Chain A
Amino acid sequence: MNNKDYGLSKYKYQGGFETWAWFFMRISGVVLLLIAVLHLLLMHVYIQVENITYDVVANRWTGTWGPFWKTYDLALLIFALTHGFNGLRWIVDDYIHRAGWNVFFKALLLVIYLVVIAMGTYTVFSFTG
C-alpha cells in the first residue's frame, strides 16, 4: 500500500487554501473521532434510541448541563458539516470536469451548507423548552 495511490495527498502540496483545507480535514477528523463517535455511543448505548423523546432532548438542552450540551452540539454541527461538505467539494472536483457543471455543483453545495448550518445553529440557540 503506497499512500500516494489513495487519499488526497495531492492537496497537501498545492499551497494556500487547498493545503489549509487538507490540514483542516485531518484536524477536524481527529476532533470528530471523539465527538461524533461519542454522540452515537451516547444516543445508542447510554440513552438508547427507543428512549429518546421530546423531554429527553429538552432536559439535555435546558437542564443544569444545558450550556455544555448546547456547546457540544454546536461544535459537532460546525465540524461535521464543514468536514463533510469540504469532502463533497473534493469529490465534485474529482468527477465533474466540465467547468460550468463543476461551478454549478460547488455553488449548490455552498448554498446547502449555509442553509443547513443556519438551521442547526438557530435550533440550538432558540430552543427554550
Chain B
Amino acid sequence: MGNVISAFWKGVKYKGGPGHYAFILHRLTGIGVALFLVVHIMDNFVILFGEEAFTEVLHLYANPVMRLLEVFLIFSVAYHAFNGLRVIIVDFWAPNSHVQRALWILVWVVVIPITIVAAWFTLAPIFGLR
C-alpha cells in the first residue's frame, strides 16, 4: 500500500504542465464517479423492497452534507465528461498547441457554468430559496 501511495505522489509532484494536472484530475474524478455509481445501483435496488424502504433511502440524500457532495459529484461528472471529450479530440485529430490550449480553456468555460447551475438547483431548497 505504501508503494502505491508513494507512486501516486510521484505522479502528482511530476511537473508535466497543464496536460498532467488535467490527467490527474481526470483520474480522480473517474474513480469518484465509479465509486458513487456502485452505491447508486445499491440505493436503486432498495426500490424493490417497497415504498417505505426507498423513501428512507431518499431521505439520506436530503441531508445538506449529502446535497453538497452531490454538487461535487456533478462537478466531477462534468469535468470528466468534457475533459474526456478533449482527450478524444486530441487523440484522433492531434491539433496544434494553440488549439489544444483553447480546448483546455473551453473545458472550464463549459464545466464552471454547469456546476454553478447544478449547485443552484440542488442547494437553493436547503436555504428556502426558489
Give min CB distance, B38 to chain A, whole Å.
6
**B78 and A37 within 8 A (CB):** yes
Q: Contacts A33-B84, A37-B81, A49-B61 given; indicate if A84 touches B104 (C-beta within 8 A).
A: no
**A33 and B81 within 8 A (CB):** yes
CB < 8 Å: which of B20, B27, B81 contacts A36?
Answer: B81
SS of B interface (majority) = helix
CB < 8 Å: which of A1, A49, A119 contacts B19?
Answer: A1
Residues in A whose Cβ lies below 8 Å from that of B91 = 3, 7, 9, 12, 26
Q: Number of residue pairs across A and B with beta carbons under 8 Å?
A: 121
Which residues of B are interface residues toward A (Cβ below 8 A)? 4, 7-8, 16-20, 22-23, 27, 30-31, 33-34, 37-38, 41-42, 44-45, 47-48, 51, 54-55, 58, 61-62, 67, 70, 74, 77-78, 81-82, 84-85, 87-88, 90-92, 94, 97, 100-101, 104, 117-118, 121-122, 125
Q: Number of A residues whose C-beta is below 8 Å from B?
A: 43
